[in-house]
Amino acid sequence: MSRHLCPEITPNLNMMHPFFLSILVCSVLGLGLAIPSYTCIVMGNLDIIRNKGKLSPTDVIFLAKGIVNLLLQCVMSIKGMIFVLSLEIFNIRQVFVFMNTSINFLIYYNFWLTFWLSAHYCTTITNLSYGFFIWIKRIVSNFLSHLLLLTALGVFIVSVLNFWALNAGSLIQSSVNSTNVSVISLVFSYHVAVTTLGVILPFCLSLLCLVLTSSFLLRHVWRVKNNDSGSTHPNLQAHVTALRTIFFLLLILTFFCGSQVMTFLPSSSLSIVLGNLQLLSPSVEAAIIFQASNKLRRIILRRFWTRSWRNTET
């Protein structure tokens, strides 16, 4: 959360400004939505492991997304609460480094998880014969867990180096007490490269998967309508659900990045609203995961139904 959204306002509990009150409300609301939602997602996948012994690729990615988004919501909400209740805590270097590095890492990793989910849907639905897609399908099917761990490691390294470069650049400028054009250019170039690797590249790849999957399904529907036998693909509804999931995930990520950019613009009511809604974006992904997984919905409904039935008996 940027301080310059309202630089003329200082957080004060005795005289709470609506801007800071809205941040506090959204931070608490985000935690209240994320903790039960993602706990259900994680517990539901653990039930699948206990019953079947192995998760499907989509279940593995949903489990990883559940953990990542829960952590992201917690860190963002805690940062929002600190910003309102005790801004001076950010003067502690360790807290500042931990908050910013954690948020960057979780955001970048969430983008890459969206890509791997999109790639899995795309390669499963379209059955493209190109060598690249065959390779993606093979590694997603056989080495997904290792792939997610390697992705997490790479994203973590990139996030730490990005924060180190930005911090080193600011220290160099402050030490010479002037604006060093070469230092600013180097830091900016590094930041652009990190943003490209962490955000732009996985987003573009996910968008490519969305376009390929959409075109394949549209061609399939057209063939079905022009088929004299009237046969239809048994998994068409599942394919549509997968396509809808990719679209909504990309929409959430687009909104998140757009609201992030808006926080650097001069203070306005729109930037304030988008900044507050940004605090809730990790929790919104829980609803997208629920609509995408019939197994999770059945497990959660069965668990709550059994629990409520036992309570009525007692």
What are the structural domains, with CATH classification, of the chain?
3-313 (1.20.1070.10)
pLDDT at residue number 1: 44
Nearest alpha-carbon partner for 279 in 32, 12, 8: 32
Report yes or no on whether pTM surpasses 0.85: no
- Determine the angle formed by the axes of helices 93-126 and 236-262, rounding to 10 degrees: 150
CB-CB contact of 112 with 155 (8 Å): yes
The pLDDT tens digits for 253-265 are: 887 777 666 655 6
| Helix ranges, 15-130 (H) | 18-52, 57-85, 93-126
Q: Which residues of the chain have pLDDT under 70?
A: 1-16, 53, 128-130, 165-184, 186-187, 224, 227-235, 259-271, 303-314
DSSP classification of residue 266: P
The pLDDT tens digits for 124-138 are: 888 766 677 777 778
CB-CB contact of 185 with 210 (8 Å): no
CB-CB contact of 40 with 289 (8 Å): no
CB-CB contact of 111 with 64 (8 Å): no
pLDDT at residue number 179: 54
CB-CB contact of 209 with 122 (8 Å): yes
d(CA 216, CA 111): 24
